[in-house]
Amino acid sequence: MTDIASYHLTAEEITSEEKLIKAAQLNPRDFEPLYKRYFKRIANYIYNRVEDKETAFELTSEVFYKALESLPKYKPMGVPFSAWLFRIASNEINLLYRKNKAMRVLSIDRDGLGELKGDMEESNQTEVDEQLYKALQTLKEDDMELINMRFFEKRPFKEICDILDMNESACKMKLYRILEKLKQYLTTTTNH
């Protein structure tokens, strides 16, 4: 789960972060404060998707290597620096899954599952949970990523949109369509 407060920065924090970024752009040795600030969040984000410590640390290293390598070209675009790092991490995870043809990992928690189910009233909740889990497995990678960030990591829409590089209304519409797909799947499987 993400620390929502850590995503929203004050004006002073934004100015401070911009100074750190500019210093690191001038001298790669000055990247360390940014690395220390975001390492744990990026590592957790990756680990929740691969569930293998060694792979998570390898990918985290790759994310920061690519960030450092691309830092001279980085320009603040009105989103936190962390969104840029999460985008790199998301791309690395997708590359891993495409390369290895592995199944995507989804860290499901009871609260998120309950929120995802919403107002579905069913007599057998265990059966609904199993059907919902099967329905989630039918989703495309980017749809699953959106569901994961919103319901299981409890990220605010603003952060999700920054990470996925989408505008907020498009992101909400996409989520609504995914939820409708899931409901449709549940309706057809529970009625058979």
| 192 residues of the chain, pLDDT tens digit each | 344 445 567 778 878 888 999 999 999 999 999 999 999 999 999 998 887 899 999 999 999 999 999 999 998 777 789 989 999 998 898 888 777 765 555 555 555 556 666 645 554 566 667 777 788 878 888 888 888 888 888 888 888 888 888 899 999 999 999 988 888 887 787 665
Please check whether residues 9 and 73 belong to one and the same domain. Answer: yes
Please check whether residues 90 and 12 belong to one and the same domain. Answer: yes
Please check whether residues 83 and 132 belong to one and the same domain. Answer: no
Domain total of the chain: 2
Please report, for the domain that includes residue 70, its CATH number.
1.10.1740.10
Element (H, E) at 184: helix 168-190
Please check whether residues 132 and 167 belong to one and the same domain. Answer: yes
- Kindly tell me the number of DSSP H helices and DSSP E strands found in the chain: 10, 0
In a domain, 105, yes or no: no
Residue 33 vs residues 36, 70, 88, 120: alpha-carbon distances, Å = 5, 17, 18, 46
Please check whether residues 64 and 152 belong to one and the same domain. Answer: no
- The whole-angstrom separation of Cα 39 and Cα 36 is 5
pTM, full prediction = 0.70
In a domain, 170, yes or no: yes
Q: What is the pLDDT of residue 12?
A: 83
Please check whether residues 81 and 135 belong to one and the same domain. Answer: no
Q: What is the pLDDT of residue 102?
A: 57
Through-space distance between the first and last CA atoms of the chain, rounded to whole angstroms: 36
Q: What is the pLDDT of residue 3?
A: 44
Q: Which of 67, 100, 133 is the last residue of a domain?
A: 100
Q: Which of 100, 128, 154 is the last residue of a domain?
A: 100
Please check whether residues 22 and 67 belong to one and the same domain. Answer: yes
Burial class (CB in 10 A: 0-12, 13-18, 19+), 162: buried
Query: What range defines the domain where residue 29 resides?
Result: 4-100
Which of 132, 160, 172 minimizes the C-alpha distance to 45? 160
Q: What is the pLDDT of residue 5?
A: 44
